[in-house]
Amino acid sequence: MHAALITGTRQVEVRDFPEPTPTPSGVVVDVALCGICGTDVHAYTSGRDYNPAICGHEWTGTISAIGTEVSRFTEGDRVIVGVPPACGTCPACESGHFAYCSTALSFATGRDKEAPPHGGFAPQIAVHQDRVIHAHPSLSDEALAQVEPVTISFHAVARSGLREGDFAVVQGAGPVGLTTLQCVAAAGATEIVVIEPGAARRSLATQLGATHVTAPEDAADLVESLTGGLGADIVYECVGAQATVQTAVDLARRGGLMCLIGLADGDVPINPRTWLYKEITTTSALAYLHHEFEETMQLIADGRIVVDPLHSSTTSIDGLGATLEDLASGSTDQIKVLLDPNAS
C-alpha cells in the first residue's frame, strides 16, 4: 500500500507500507477523502520534523476491519477522525481540567500508543477505536472530510468569549477563516468584518455571511469607521502570519478580545504596550473536544455552516507535492483541497 509523507523542505515521498490490520482495540478505515491542512503546508515549506501520524489528519472513510475488543463500531460504519472524551485519570483530568485531558491531546497530535506510521494520505489507516467518531448519516464524504478543521473553528469560537450582538473581525478568508466566520455568525455576532487580500476569497466571505469585507491595507480605517472609533469587540486571527498577531490586537477595542487560531512559524513581534493599554483578553485554539465533533456535524447538516463552496478541487497521492506547492505559493485560487487516495 502507498502512503504520502512530508519528509523535508518541499519534499513529499510516496512510501510502501504493509496493508494495516487492527489491534484488539483498533479499527482499520478505508479512507474516502482526506483534507489538506494548513499545518501540512507549513510542514512542507518549513522542513520541520512532522509526525507522520498526522501527515493527513482530516480524513473520513468506512471501517473495513475491527479488533476483538471493539464493540462500538462494526464493519461498514462511516466514520470521521476525532478524539476521545476526557479519560478521567490523567493529571489534568484528576485536577478537574477535563478540557485539557492529556490522553485526548495525545490522540489529537498523533502521539497515542497506537498512532499509525502514516496519516490519511493513504487508502487505509489503522487507528485506535477512540480515534474515530460515527459520521452524521446525511453528510457527504466531501463534507465529512472537512469536519475536523471546522471543529477547530467551532472550538475556537466557543472558547473566545463572543457575545450575541458583538462586532467581530476575522483575519483571513482561507478554510479556517471562512468556517470561523460562519461559526461567529451562528454564535450571534451581528457585524462581521473579514479581512482578506484575495478578491475571490472576499467575495466568498460575503456569500458565507460576512457583513463587510476588506483588503488588509483598508481594514483599520473600515473598522474605525464602522465602530465610531471604538474598535472591534473581538478579533479572530486565522492567517497564521507573524505580522497579523499584532494587527489583531490593533483592531480590537479597549477591553476587547483576541482569539488566536492561525499558527505562525517562528517567534512573533508584538507591541506589549498596546496589549497592556487595551487590557486585551486573549484566547487560543489548538484542537477540539470530543463532543464538539457531533455539534459541528449537526451545524453542517442543518445548513448553518456550509462547506461545499470551500471544496475547490480534489487531488491524488501522486499529486500531493504539486498541490502543496500551489497552496504554499501565496497566489493560489484554491480554498480547500481534498485528497482521494484511490484516485490515479
Q: Which of 300, 319, 311, 305 is nearest to 338 (CA)?
A: 311
182 pLDDT band, cuts 50/70/90, is: very high
Q: What is the pLDDT of residue 282?
A: 97
- The span from the CA of 270 to the CA of 303, in Å, is 38
Range(s) for CATH 3.90.180.10 in the chain?
2-146+307-339
| Amino acid occupying residue 133 | I
pTM above threshold 0.85: yes
How many C-alpha atoms does 163 have within 13 Å on its Cβ side?
5
Q: What is the pLDDT of residue 344?
A: 82
- Using one digit for the tens of pLDDT, what is the confidence trace for 187-239? 999 999 999 999 999 999 999 999 999 999 999 999 999 999 999 999 999 99
Q: What is the pLDDT of residue 271?
A: 95
Q: What is the pLDDT of residue 266?
A: 80
Burial of 302 (0-12, 13-18, 19+ CB in 10 A): exposed
- Using one digit for the tens of pLDDT, what is the confidence trace for 240-298? 888 999 999 999 999 999 999 998 878 889 999 999 999 999 999 999 999 999 999 99
Domain covering 151-284, topology: Rossmann fold (3.40.50)
Q: What is the pLDDT of residue 66?
A: 98
What homologous superfamily is domain 2-146+307-339 in, according to CATH? Medium-chain alcohol dehydrogenases, catalytic domain (3.90.180.10)
Range(s) for CATH 3.40.50.720 in the chain?
151-284
